[in-house]
Chain A
Amino acid sequence: MNRIRRAFHGKKAFLAFLTGGDPDMETTENLIVAMAESGADIVEIGVPFSDAVAEGVVIQKAGERALAAGCTVDKLFEMVRRVRTKISIPLLFMTYMNPIFAYGKERFVEQCAACGIDGIIVPDLPFEEKGELARECANRGISLISMIAPTSEKRIERIARDAEGFLYCVSSLGVTGERSHINGNVAQLIEQAKKVTSIPCAVGFGISTPEQARDMAAVSDGVIVGSAIVRLIAEYGKESMGPVSQFVKRMKSAM
């Protein structure tokens, strides 16, 4: 069983997202450790991209701050190498195709494997374009995470059958960001996927409160939270370890 599957084993997993390099690389490193210690089962590190089309304004702004602070893919690899000596939970990169393509697909995935990244999520790489990165990931034992959305319908089974690591279930229409109501029919989405796959299904997009985490965990194998954490980091900056740890603990205990 690989590290990602183990993170879901016998429990509901909490997946915490933060943007790498926001407000600086040292804080990101400390936050990853703090979140792991507070109960996060998997950490997703956003590799900032200038034109993040799947992101709402909170994560867009975090990306802008990180880039302005000098964050690069190379610096992220160095940071992950350091943090890997301190924690053992799975670490994922979430980024767009262009930063990977510009770095060199082979080289990017090779570096991921070398520094201890377990999987990659690429929101602008749908099922039809997966071939762009699938071979490189398979060669290095990196899980290329697939996504399904409320609009996937007939596509769900095809995507789920081919998915690895876990299946990222997008809770509702639109982009990332906190929502007062999750209006997509998540339970149905997951039910359809489960017909053809045994891999865990985690729900993301719009989840920010313990109540939402509890409701979503009830119908899935795990919950992904990004914007709510990133907003705390925006507010507290270098001092965000405390507030973020508390938030992670609160969310995790509600699940």
Chain B
Amino acid sequence: MQATKQDTKQVTNQVNSGRFGVYGGQYIPETLMSAVQELEEGYFHYKTDPEFQRELDSLLNHYAGRPSLLYFAKRMTHDFGGAKVYLKREDLNHTGSHKINNVLGQVLLAKKMGKTRVIAETGAGQHGVATATAAALMDLECEIFMGKEDMERQALNVFRMQLLGAKVHAVTSGTMTLKDAVSETMREWATRMDDTHYVLGSVMGPHPFPIMVRDFQKIIGKEIKEQMIRAEGRMPDAVIACVGGGSNAMGAFYEFLGDSSVELIGCEAAGLGVDNPKNAATMANGKVGILHGMKSYFSQDEYGQIAPVYSLSAGLDYPGIGPEHAYLADAGRARYVPITDAEAVDALEYLSRVEGIIPALESAHALAYAKKLVPTMRKDKIVVVVVSGRGDKDVAALARYKGVNLYE
């Protein structure tokens, strides 16, 4: 069913309900309810506090390096021969991805709420590094939970977090990847919440996280709109971003929800292919379910056991998707497409050679779809692709994928 422009904006703006249509909610153990309600109260208080906003803006501008560039990819545009391509360069942020936007917001909030310790899950390590960074900056104790398998895939990021003063715990339960790291961080939070804030890394989890993380990320779309109007005097025709939990995509899409002429496209990880069990394409293969505090789409078997998912990119290796994306998909306001490992690797190599930008494997999923879509569009159209992170962290995994033996 197609929702009208008005509907979409209205429902996603219902800040206190914690629901996006039927999605979202607070499906968490009773022990955690008080922590989540305290957070809800704290967030909605500081959200409208001018002093908080001023401090956050200052951190974003003078520490993280915002605004990030909106770069016209001239060679890529010429090569594709279709729409004009602009890249939103979140890879240029401090710590190398969009994750810092959310983390600065949440860690500042935690500090204001009197917390002295932050904990976080991480998949690829980008969110863990960002959290450790903000915790170092604001002098908070920091502990990161990371799947044992991911620690092996992203050993450099583990060392980076330790360098920043964080303690990194290996999660050995379940599939030993991102979903288990989320579960383990929730368990840790239930054990100690008086002095501890859980810095959730994406637009997922129980209310208020999906709304709060989206609010901290919506600066991406806000800047795109301003920069695009300055550069081209008009709105883009499409915005493309990769989706795991979906924070960079939600941040990029949110500003455009009411502008129905702007097509919003999320690219999810299809791993070895949507028909192969080794994939993480939640929208393509998942069903509605309940996990990690939220109702949304999840990859699962007929009995509701969460399916082990796979993607070469550890950051998209999650069996669910944020509830607002589930809502936007049902409402027809955004669409979600699967991209395979091979397509993402190809796009990563392409951007590296054509524009001299090595994107993160996650972001390469968005570029891979642009590579398919842009050549089919007219030259007077404009597409924005979000480069959510830089690819430095992926070079070792990429070398392994290509069978290159690296001596680091």
Contacts and interface: CB of A to CB of B under 8 A. Distances in A.
A97 B27 contact: yes
A218 interface: no
Nearest to B29: A54
Nearest to B179: A51
Kindly name the residue among A64, A101, A103, A170 whose own CB sees the greatest number of chain B CB atoms within 10 A.
A101
Interface residues of A, number: 42
Interface stretch (A32-40, A149-157, A193-201, A242-250): A149-157
B289 interface: yes
A92 B37 CA distance: 30
Contacts of A67: 305
Interface stretch (A1-9, A118-126, A221-229, A231-239): A118-126
Interface in A111-153: 123-129, 132, 147-153
A174 B304 contact: no
B31 interface: yes
Interface in B351-379: none
Contacts of A212: none
Contacts of A153: 34
Contact of A53 (B183, B287, B303, B305): B183
Contacts of A175: 187, 190-191
A62 B25 CA distance: 28
A57 interface: yes
Contacts of B183: 51-53
A72 interface: yes
A219 interface: no
A99 B27 contact: no
Interface string A84-110: 000000000000111111110000000
Kindly name the residue among A53, A60, A155, A174 whose own CB sees the greatest number of chain B CB atoms within 10 A.
A53
Nearest to A174: B191
Nearest to A184: B31
A53 B33 contact: no
Contacts, number: 118
A170 B30 contact: yes
A79 to B, nearest CB: 15
B27 A124 contact: yes
Contacts of A173: 31, 190-193
A235 B364 CA distance: 48
B112 to A, nearest CB: 21
B37 to A, nearest CB: 9
Contacts of B304: 49, 98-103
Interface stretch (B79-87, B261-269, B290-298, B330-338): B290-298
B136 to A, nearest CB: 27
A97 B26 CA distance: 12
A83 interface: no
B133 interface: no
Given A98-B298, A102-B287, A50 B305 contact: yes
Contacts of B293: 124
B174 interface: yes
Contact of A98 (B26, B31, B180, B300): B300
A151 B34 CA distance: 6
9 contacts: A50-B305, A51-B180, A98-B290, A98-B300, A99-B305, A100-B304, A126-B26, A129-B26, A152-B34
